[in-house]
Amino acid sequence: MIILPVSFSVYNRLSVKSSTQSLPVQRDGEIMRVAVAILTVFASVAVTIDATVYFKEQFQDGDAWKSRWLVSEHKSDYGEWKLTAGKFYGDAEADKGLQTSQDARFYALSSRFEPFSNEGKSLVVQFTVKHEQKIDCGGGYVKIFPADLDQAAMHGDSQYYIMFGPDICGYSTKKVHVIFNYKGKNHLIKKEIKCKDDELTHLYTLILNPDQTYEVKINNEKVESGTLEDDWDILPPKTVKDPEAKKPEDWDDRAKIDDPTDTKPEDWEKPENIPDPDAKIPEDWDVDMDGEWEPPMIPNPEYQGEWKAKQIDNPDYKGAWVHPEIDNPEYTADAAIYKFGNIGVLGLDLWQVKSGTIFDNFLIGDDIKEAEEFGNETWGATKAPEKKMKDDDDDDSPTEEEEGEDPKKDKDEL
């Protein structure tokens, strides 16, 4: 952080009174307001300077991105990437990003930056994703790796710190992954966060705070938040059921019981089915050949079903028995679950059945406000014209019926 040479002596110097003449009260108040304004400005500048952007990528320099991003060599048939704004966009240059270009492929690409730790400060991971190919099954997430990752050997089992972003496969899987690695084990969020599944660009933001809270935003709007302990099974539970406790044998947890004074009516017992009284023996029925004739059975209109006594409140009801809990001896509090000490690589490690996803506007930093503003300046500035271009293209596209028409027939009609 850059410390600006500003102190409260500014106001002291401005408000010193002359030994021969006192300043009017109104003038003294004006000086106070000016001093406060100056301090406010410097304070805001100091806060801005304190914000750190560790990684930012917008692909605005053509093929130069290839010098910053490395394709893994772990497999020889990883899918290829291309720089494009896609079939529709809000700005032909600003919306250029990296697009998956081959169907049914794994993709493994990463970019390195100066290593850092998020200890004592917020961590913000943000990027945009566009599935313009009407994705059926494929990932749209990023992984944050430790700086010691061998990028050339990166693959699906490479240990990472964080995995975040949308994942879609069929109708059943349309969610946002938020996975944290803690002591070598990956922990998935217990909540279900739905992702966007249309063909437009969307902004995804993960905020991780040093007070062990988090927030997930889509298109700069909060969709989920909470604490790391509550929403992940990172630590063992604080309490467990007391293994020594048992439900007392005389514990009555029946809220209702049969009324002991209620008795079954004498005429209750009626058969469920009876012979059809309207049935008649067929004229051609031969007893010697066909045997004794029996009328078909029909439901008994007087059948009342199984008799059950009326229910009354149980006078001995004690409520549901709750198993007592004790402190879990396996639980140890950890105020540093949020901390990752050697962040240094951002990676795209994906499988896609149908290619065409575009990634852009990556940002890793520690300032929530700055990330929000960056999102508004990028995704926010181009979302409306992008949608308009797509809508216009959709209006101009032929319908299925038009595509099936016979061009010779059209020519003959002319």
Which residues fall in the annotated binding site for an alpha-D-glucoside?
141, 143, 160, 167, 349
Asked if residues 95 and 377 have their Cβ atoms less than 8 Å apart, the reply is: no
Q: In a 10 Å sphere around its CB, with 0-12 CB exposed, 13-18 middle and 19+ buried, how is residue 19 labelled? A: exposed
Cα separation of 124 and 367, whole Å?
A: 7
Count of beta carbons in the 10 Å neighbourhood of residue 213:
17
Asked if residues 382 and 90 have their Cβ atoms less than 8 Å apart, the reply is: yes
The two beta strands, 297-299 and 97-100, are: unpaired
Total residue length of the chain: 414
Binding-site residues sit at 141, 143, 160, 167, 349
Any alpha helices (H) in 161-304, and if so which ranges? 228-231, 287-290
Any alpha helices (H) in 118-268, and if so which ranges? 228-231
Q: Compute the half-sphere exposure of residue 212: CA atoms within 13 Å on the CB side of its CA.
A: 13
Q: In a 10 Å sphere around its CB, with 0-12 CB exposed, 13-18 middle and 19+ buried, how is residue 191 labelled? A: middle
